[in-house]
Structure 1
Amino acid sequence: MGFEVLLKGTNMARLLGGLAVSLRISLISVAISIVLGIVLGILMALKNPVITAVSRVYLEIVRIMPQMVLLFIVYFGTTKALGINLSAETAAVIVFSFWGTAEMADLVRGSLISIPVIQYESSMSLGLSKFQTYRYVIVPQIVRRMIPLSINLITRMIKTTSLVMMIGIVEVLKVGQQIIEANRKASPNAAFGVFLIIFLLYFAACWPISMFAGYLEKKWEN
């Protein structure tokens, strides 16, 4: 079944180290995406014609362009075109933050425009200031709608980090391929065991996050 190769030397520790690389890239990217996405989402909700036009182009680029192409453009393109020496991990964080910011901004914008206008008007009629309206009425509703979706973004980003092996980052999938190649003759079936363990590692990383998002959705629906 190929599981025996994981018991040789430090192979299992290497896989765990590769998973740590994937998690580090994804979590840094998510943190950046949340901050920038909230700011951009609020600006998009203002419906300024210039901001709307620019943000629409930005969102379409993110939706249409595959992440792998963006990785190649940032990592290889900027190095040659601009003479900037980026590390592979830095390039990965830039690309995933670029993608995540667009996703988060769209979530924020959607949450803001989904609040009925009457809630703003009712708050004002009760004597609440604009700041108090946002603090006590609007923001709590937005947070409830956004947190589960934001958590789901984390799981998607963790899974998508498997693409970073294409620019030389030794993450969990790359480590798995190295282990398989090193044991091709001694363990011809190593691929099955190694990739099954990689699947389980991704599952162990993402499943608790998905369950937490589902728990929040059910809790806040009541």
Structure 2
Amino acid sequence: MQSLGIDVLFKGNNMLRILGGLWVSVRISIISVLISIVLGLFIGVLMTSRNRVLRAVLRIYLEIVRIMPQMVLLFIVYFGTTRVFGINISAEISAILVFVFWGTAEMGDLVRGSIKSIPVIQYESAYALGLNKFQVYFYVILPQTVRRLIPLSINLVTRMIKTTSLVMMIGMVEVLKVGQQIIEANRKTSPNAAFGIFAVVMLLYFIVCWPISRLAAALEKRWE
């Protein structure tokens, strides 16, 4: 074990620090996803609007999110707002803002695709029953959309959890940052600590993400 550097984890409270750093990543992901789901439902409906200007604006928003690296967005929000606007935003709030900005666009696109995949006959049948446009969306389209979205949104959760590793670049002490701190503190006594620490970090990400991924696959298969 010592040759792999895993023994470092059992010194002092290193393992508890690693788990605490993992919880930071999971917490940011959960908060961001919950907000993104709510906003994404709204944005997704707007993406199906017949208003070309509105659709064009939302398309530009989606493309910005897809093209711009999350790290750049983190730097803009965390460092840029402080310098330009004089607003002091904590690293965690900055991370949540960036992930919500990203997650809302991704969720909105998923909602748009789910709404578009619903057969036209569903709309026609609802209108034939005397429902107005709001009632058609609220009682017929959105329930089906949400059902199709659950597996896809769960996959988004796993992507967010993995991407939260970037927040270490703005000073947040998450699981990778803790790992680096432990490696630096034991550099002389355990020269192979990097292998053991990062192997355990990889395993922890897998333990968190794999059940979520399996749940998404199971729901998708059940609701096909």
Q: TM-score range, shorter-chain basis? A: over 0.9
Does residue 1:145 correspond to 2:145, yes or no? no
Deviates more, 1:37-46 or 1:94-103: 37-46
Residue 125 of structure 2: aligned partner: 122
What corresponds to 2:65 in structure 1? 62
| CA distance 1:124–1:47, change in 2 (3 Å) | closer
- Shift in Å at residue 116 of structure 1? 2.0
The alignment covers a number of residue pairs equal to 220
Query: Quick one: which of 5, 8, 20 aligns to 2:11?
Result: 8
1:181-204, Cα deviation, whole Å (9 max, x unpaired): 100100011111101110111011
Does structure 1 residue 52 correspond to structure 2 residue 55? yes
CA offsets 1:89-127 (integer angstroms, 9 cap, x no match): 1100000000000000001111112222222112333x2
- How many percent identity over aligned positions? 72
**2-side partners of 1:161 and 1:138: how far apart?**
33
CA displacement at 1:135 relative to structure 2: 4.7
1:114 partner letter: S
CA RMSD of aligned residues (A): 1.2
Partner of 1:96: 99
In structure 2, what is the equivalent of residue 107 of structure 1? 110
Give 1:128 deviation, angstroms: 4.6
1:158 is matched by which residue type in structure 2?
Answer: I
Return 5+ residue gaps in structure 2 as ranges: none
Out of 170, 176, 180, the residue aligned to residue 179 of structure 2 is 176
- Amino acid across the alignment from 2:182: I
In the superposition, the TM-score normalised over structure 1's length comes to 0.95
TM-score in terms of structure 2 length = 0.94
What one-letter code is carried by the residue in structure 2 that aligns with 1:140?
P
**Equivalent-residue separation in structure 1 for 2:122 and 2:39 (angstroms):** 27
Q: Which runs of 4+ in 1 moved over 4 A?
A: none
Task: Determine which of 181, 202, 218 is the counterpart of 1:215.
Answer: 218
